[in-house]
Amino acid sequence: MVSGYSGGDKENPTYEQVSTGRTGHMEAVQIEYDPSQVNYKDLLEVFWTSHNPIQKGGQGADTGSQYEAAILYHNDEQKVLAEESKASLRVGEARREKNAKRSANKALEDQKIYDKPIATKIMPFKNFYPAEDYHQDYYGKNPEARYCQIVINPKVEKIRKLFHDKLK
């Protein structure tokens, strides 16, 4: 996994440039994976679980277009799978009505119901520029940093709990 910037027109942008929100780039991670070890659907499931898909204009306290959540697909198969996974999150009353026929607790455990539209974008991959060295493996290098403790640790623990059977 490589931290970097994606989507804008500026070649080889720096963190300082991207953080202005004027380059068209988003902060991103590029994930190289072995399909014989993990499939794309599983990666999508982890992605949807690890962020707030209804928050517009960033994630958490990190606001601005450079922090918006997106899936950048590389081919038609990834696009279809990403769109299907997004559609499975469902928004609004139609999903609630369907779930009303089942026990309320079971419905809440099994289904993600959002009362706002999904803001996460699904876009074609355009480019990727690795971030500066100090951004690479930031969590591994800085586990005691306030950002890691407040933002990253809860996400890591959630993923470990929900996907323990798929982790190595």
* pLDDT tens-place string over residues 59-81: 988 999 999 999 999 999 999 99
For residues 123 and 89, membership in a common domain is answered with yes
My answer on whether 141 and 83 are in the same domain is no
Residue type (1 letter), 30: Q
pLDDT of 124 strictly over 90: yes
pTM, to two decimals: 0.83
Q: Mark out the alpha helices in the chain (DSSP H runs).
A: 15-18, 40-49, 76-87, 93-100, 104-110, 138-141, 146-147, 153-162
Count the domains in the chain.
Answer: 2
pLDDT confidence bin for 129, thresholds 50/70/90: very high
Average pLDDT (129-152) is: 97
Same domain as 126, residue 94: yes
Q: Which pLDDT score, from 0 to 100, does residue 92 have?
A: 57
Q: Please classify residue 82 by burial: count the beta carbons closer than 10 Å to its beta carbon, then call 0-12 exposed, 13-18 middle and 19+ buried.
A: buried
At 43 the pLDDT is 96
> The domain spanning residue 27 has which CATH number?
3.30.1060.10
Q: What is the pLDDT of residues 6-53, one digit of tens each?
A: 999 999 999 999 999 999 999 999 999 999 999 999 999 999 999 999
- The rounded mean pLDDT for the chain is 89
C-alpha to C-alpha distances, 19 to 22, 94, 108, 131, 155, nearest whole angstrom: 8, 39, 37, 12, 23
Contacting residues for 146 by C-beta, under 8 A, at least 6 apart: none
Is 126 found in the same domain as 47?
yes
Are 107 and 158 in contact by the 8 Å Cβ rule? The answer is no
90 and 142, same domain (yes or no)? no
Residue 86 sits in the same domain as residue 153: no
Tell me: do 8 and 62 sit in the same domain.
yes
pLDDT (0 to 100) of residue 112: 66
